[in-house]
């Protein structure tokens, strides 16, 4: 996914594993660090780097990871073109606008109330992330947080809704 938040470019590899109650975002910031975001269905999220700074923040979001039926109750807004694709468009609680390719039913883009836009670059059903990538590093569990210098790509602000 390409995240074009306010003044920020980054590539985000999202690995979603609903049966095991987890997802991982690997966030490649433009000309910067790689940030890992491991999220669990119990609401616990670990934001960390694997570089020498060993930064790690633990955050609790009561909602956990998005459910497969996250669009239940959304308003269907019809078909619209987005990034060259004819899409079905849904809006949910004035928080997210979700674009889905009419032909393949694959996600095309997400727009958030904050102005953050995410374009889906590839979508690979069945591709599996190596198990070692699902575990936050040991320094995330050694007492006090080693906080990140900024909120991880606005997610903390977004999820406070």
Question: 148 pLDDT band (50/70/90 cuts)?
Answer: low
Tell me, yes or no, whether 37 lies in a domain. yes
> What does the buried/exposed string (b/e) look like for 86-106 if buried means 16 or more CB atoms within 10 Å of the residue's CB?
ebbbbbeeeebbbbbbeeeee
The mean predicted confidence, pLDDT, of the chain is 84
- 0.75 exceeded by the pTM? yes
- Structural domains in the chain (count): 1
Tell me, yes or no, whether 132 lies in a domain. yes
Task: Give yes or no for residue 146 having a pLDDT over 80.
Answer: no
pLDDT, residue 135, reads 92
Cβ-based burial of 81 (10 A; exposed 0-12, middle 13-18, buried ≥19):
exposed
**Percentage of the chain lying above the pLDDT 90 cut:** 49
CA atoms of 152 and 46, how far apart (whole Å): 10
Tell me, yes or no, whether 134 lies in a domain. yes
Tell me, yes or no, whether 100 lies in a domain. no
Tell me, yes or no, whether 97 lies in a domain. no
pLDDT, residue 101, reads 97
75-134 per-position pLDDT tens digit: 999 999 999 999 999 999 888 999 999 999 999 999 988 888 888 888 888 899 999 899
Question: 44 pLDDT band (50/70/90 cuts)?
Answer: very high
Tell me, yes or no, whether 113 lies in a domain. yes
Domain range for residue 112? 2-68+108-159
């Amino acid at each position: 996914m390409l995240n074009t938040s306010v003044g920020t470019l980054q590539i985000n590899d999202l690995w979603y594993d609903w049966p095991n109650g987890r997802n991982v975002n690997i966030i490649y910031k433009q000309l910067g660090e790689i940030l890992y975001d491991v999220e669990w269905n119990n609401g616990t999220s670990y934001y960390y780097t694997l570089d020498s700074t060993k930064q790690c923040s633990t955050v609790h979001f009561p909602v956990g990871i998005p459910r497969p039926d996250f669009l239940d109750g959304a308003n269907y807004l019809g078909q619209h073109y987005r990034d060259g694709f004819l899409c079905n468009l849904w809006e949910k609680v004035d928080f997210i606008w979700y674009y889905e390719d009419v032909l393949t039913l694959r996600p095309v883009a997400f727009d958030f109330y904050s102005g953050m836009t995410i374009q889906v670059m590839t979508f690979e059903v069945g591709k599996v992330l190596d198990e070692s990538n699902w575990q936050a590093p040991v320094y995330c569990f050694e007492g006090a947080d080693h906080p990140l210098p900024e909120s991880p790509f606005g997610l903390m602000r977004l999820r406070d809704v």
